[in-house]
Structure 1
Amino acid sequence: MTALPWRDIDTVLLDMDGTLLDLHYDNHFWLEHLPQRYAELHGISRAMADLELNPLFENNAGQLQWYCLDFWSSELNIPVRELKLETAHLIALRPDADTFLAAIKQAGKRVILITNAHRDSLSLKLERIELAPYFERLISSHDYGYPKESPAFWDALQTDIGFEPSRSLFIDDTLPILRSAGAFGIGHLLAVKHPDSKKGPKNTEEFEALGDYRELLQGL
């Protein structure tokens, strides 16, 4: 990938799941573990669980409640927080993400985490991966009441932290979110080529894809 124009970047906005952390944990939990435990807890077959869950997942994707553990605990009548602990051993940093974070902090960039993850999910991951020291702020979209897919999220972020969009870099593994950021005016956007280590490369369409965090250090 082409070198980033670091002289033109003051603020680095980073997603968490699939960007700094391996998306395998979340994919495994939502696509495998939760449906299996839902079936067990409700005394139904896994096939029946999938028939019940898939329409719910599809109808709520991209909305704030999709990322809310309280919503899913109530909707499914299962203890989602506790179930997430059962697979917490899968939480892992993506290769060299910590090297990148240390380098941009050392370079004096303003570094802010912006995630759609529920605060409980964020806390769970921060207990296992030491991310907090690298960041000025750790922001959940639930703090604002809008997911990152929404233009209202970016307005709220601007009001909250006061940054220059054109002089900001944003890295995320979700294309609709990157498009929302681009529409807001974020000047430098990167997608993630391999958000899930157990799957092949992702088609990042119009966005340049980050493969290796060490690639970003050139010219920093």
Structure 2
Amino acid sequence: MIKVISFDCDGTLIDGNFNNYVWYEEIPKLYAEKYKMSFDEAYKIIKSEYDEYERKKDIRWGNPSYWIRKYKLNTTLEDVVKKEKIKIFDDVDILEQLKERYILIVFSVCSKDYLDIKLITGGLERYFEKTFSMVTDFKDENSLSKTSNAFRKICKNLGVQPYEIVHIGDSVDWDYKPAKEANIKALLIDRDNKYSNQDINKIRSLRELKNIL
């Protein structure tokens, strides 16, 4: 019997384009203002550093607070995460019903402070009993993507068996596969039907969870 529903955040609960706004608009804009240069110049500098960190699989890459400190930007993470820029998917309204029957959690690759602020700013934090960050809570894994071992640690933290949890995410490689490898039931949220030709357990809307769990 399923006791826990685990959700990815970006692309599952919140439109993933918000991250592009933070990384490629807001931070370059603040950098340009501080160091008196054009946005395009700032963008090139920052994009180059992002790419280098990602190439090295440096887990600090996914932490906006790190970049704010590194560049000595005159802002806070709370100021960078703007409510009007966050788009919550319409089918997230099913959380209200699901929380009455299940323990709801969020497991994301982004840093813990960034994840929690996004959920708070988007008005979603009240639905979830716990949040887990791959690069903060499981930094010993030294991975920018979710791992099966991290899923096992979540089960242990919650005191449940793998068969008592289901994970929903929008990435085959970062959500579906590592959850399955940990013997956790996995569902791919595929709102745009991009994976129609693959043998994957998927849903087109989070509202389907009410009838299939």
Task: Give yes or no for contact 2:5–2:102 (8 Å, CA) kept in 1.
Answer: yes
Task: Give yes or no for contact 2:189–2:206 (8 Å, CA) kept in 1.
Answer: no
Residue of structure 1 aligned with 2:80, choices 68, 80, 84: 84
Identity %: 24
> Do the aligned partners of residues 91 and 156 (structure 1) sit closer, same or farther apart at CA in structure 2, a change above 3 Å counting?
same
Residue of structure 1 aligned with 2:62, choices 37, 62, 67: 67
> Do the aligned partners of residues 51 and 176 (structure 1) sit closer, same or farther apart at CA in structure 2, a change above 3 Å counting?
same
Is residue 175 of structure 2 the alignment partner of residue 186 of structure 1?
no
Equivalent in the alignment of 1:44: 37
Instruction: Between the two structures, name the one with larger relative contact order (CA 8 Å, sep ≥ 6).
Output: 1
Which residue identity is paired with 2:24?
L
User: What are the Cα deviations for residues 36-74 of structure 1, in whole angstroms up to 9, with x where unaligned?
Assistant: 222222222233223222232223346531222332123
Aligned length: 204
Runs (4+) of structure 1 moved beyond 4 Å? 201-209
> Do the aligned partners of residues 56 and 182 (structure 1) sit closer, same or farther apart at CA in structure 2, a change above 3 Å counting?
farther
Q: SS of 2:118's equivalent?
A: helix
User: What are the Cα deviations for residues 131-172 of structure 1, in whole angstroms up to 9, with x where unaligned?
Assistant: 233223223331332555234422432331133223432112
Aligned mates of 2:52, 2:183 — CA distance in 1: 29
User: What are the Cα deviations for residues 69-92 of structure 1, in whole angstroms up to 9, with x where unaligned?
Assistant: 33212333324525514x332123
> Do the aligned partners of residues 60 and 133 (structure 1) sit closer, same or farther apart at CA in structure 2, a change above 3 Å counting?
same
Q: What does 1:132-171 correspond to in 2, within 5 Å?
A: 132-141=125-134, 142-145=136-139, 146=141, 148-171=145-168
Cα drift, residue 110 of structure 1: 2.6
> Do the aligned partners of residues 155 and 216 (structure 1) sit closer, same or farther apart at CA in structure 2, a change above 3 Å counting?
closer
Q: SS of 1:74's equivalent?
A: helix
Gaps of 5+ in 2: none
Which residue identity is paired with 2:138?
Y
Aligned mates of 1:214, 1:155 — CA distance in 2: 26
Task: Give yes or no for contact 1:115–1:139 (8 Å, CA) kept in 2.
Answer: yes
Q: When the two structures are superposed, what TM-score results if normalisation uses the length of structure 2?
A: 0.77
Is residue 19 of structure 2 the alignment partner of residue 35 of structure 1?
no
Is residue 110 of structure 2 the alignment partner of residue 117 of structure 1?
yes
Task: Give yes or no for contact 2:189–2:204 (8 Å, CA) kept in 1.
Answer: no
> Do the aligned partners of residues 94 and 159 (structure 1) sit closer, same or farther apart at CA in structure 2, a change above 3 Å counting?
same
Q: When the two structures are superposed, what TM-score results if normalisation uses the length of structure 1?
A: 0.75
> Do the aligned partners of residues 42 and 119 (structure 1) sit closer, same or farther apart at CA in structure 2, a change above 3 Å counting?
same
Q: SS of 1:114's equivalent?
A: strand
Cα drift, residue 97 of structure 1: 0.3
> Do the aligned partners of residues 205 and 217 (structure 1) sit closer, same or farther apart at CA in structure 2, a change above 3 Å counting?
same
> Do the aligned partners of residues 174 and 84 (structure 1) sit closer, same or farther apart at CA in structure 2, a change above 3 Å counting?
farther
> Do the aligned partners of residues 127 and 137 (structure 1) sit closer, same or farther apart at CA in structure 2, a change above 3 Å counting?
closer
Gaps of 5+ in 1: 1-7, 195-200
Task: Give yes or no for contact 2:168–2:188 (8 Å, CA) kept in 1.
Answer: yes
Cα drift, residue 192 of structure 1: 4.0
- RMSD, aligned CA: 2.9
> Do the aligned partners of residues 171 and 59 (structure 1) sit closer, same or farther apart at CA in structure 2, a change above 3 Å counting?
farther
